[in-house]
Amino acid sequence: MITVSAAGKRYGQAFFALARDHDLIETLYSDLEQLTDLWQEKEELRSLLFHPRIPRETKKQVLRGLGEDVHPLTRNLLLLLADKGRMALIPEIGHVFAGEKDAHYNILAVEVRAARPLPRDLEQKLLQRLQQATGQDIQLQVEVDRSVIGGLVLKVGDVLIDGSLQRGLEKMQEQLSRIQVSQIGVSNG
């Protein structure tokens, strides 16, 4: 999960509003995905853009070259971020934009962790129940996590629902540790 700064949130929300107002949500979302991937994969690009001895205008020329394949609004965002020294916000802006896009289309992303792959029928039942409970279209992301042991762990927005066997065992251990030996009729002698 990515941590989003206040600035990243403001830029992401503003860029989404611009995309919505110009009916370019999917186009600008695709641009941001491409830029975020490029930003995360290219260490030399980040080094160049953060190098203190490289003039800002040279950095902007590099960004214009990168921006040839994106919408002019996205190119303008890149140049604005360069002017403000905020290029590091690209992944945050992409993350916020994606969340705004999902909210706009009434989509709720739900992460599911299970000990093994879910059978298709169980995945469908889970999807239907979540849609009924939330009234939103659900985008399930199922991940196999052997530490879960059994059961499921769901992350719905910012809410974590831990229905795993591991969590059940931890709760039981906590409860047992609170019981005094004298309470269960066992003497020390």
Predicted confidence at residue 14, as pLDDT, reads: 97
Predicted confidence at residue 184, as pLDDT, reads: 58
Amino acid at 2: I
Predicted confidence at residue 189, as pLDDT, reads: 53
Predicted confidence at residue 39, as pLDDT, reads: 85
- In the chain, CATH 3.40.30 sits at 107-178
Predicted confidence at residue 185, as pLDDT, reads: 59
- In the chain, CATH 1.10.520.20 sits at 6-102
Distance CA 131, CA 67 (A): 39
- For domain 107-178, give the CATH number: 3.40.30
Predicted confidence at residue 163, as pLDDT, reads: 79
Is the dihedral angle over the CA atoms 113, 115, 116, 121 positive or is it negative?
Answer: negative
Distance CA 174, CA 27 (A): 51
Predicted confidence at residue 186, as pLDDT, reads: 56
Predicted confidence at residue 180, as pLDDT, reads: 63
Predicted confidence at residue 161, as pLDDT, reads: 85
Predicted confidence at residue 183, as pLDDT, reads: 59
Fold for 6-102, please state it: Peroxidase; domain 1 (1.10.520)
Tens digit of each residue's pLDDT, the chain (189 residues): 688 999 999 999 999 999 999 999 999 999 999 988 988 888 888 888 888 888 888 888 888 887 678 999 999 999 899 889 898 899 999 999 999 999 999 999 899 999 899 999 999 999 999 999 889 999 999 999 988 888 888 888 778 888 776 767 777 777 777 776 555 555 555
Q: Residue ranges of the alpha helices (H) in 42-189?
A: 43-50, 56-66, 72-84, 90-104, 120-134, 165-178
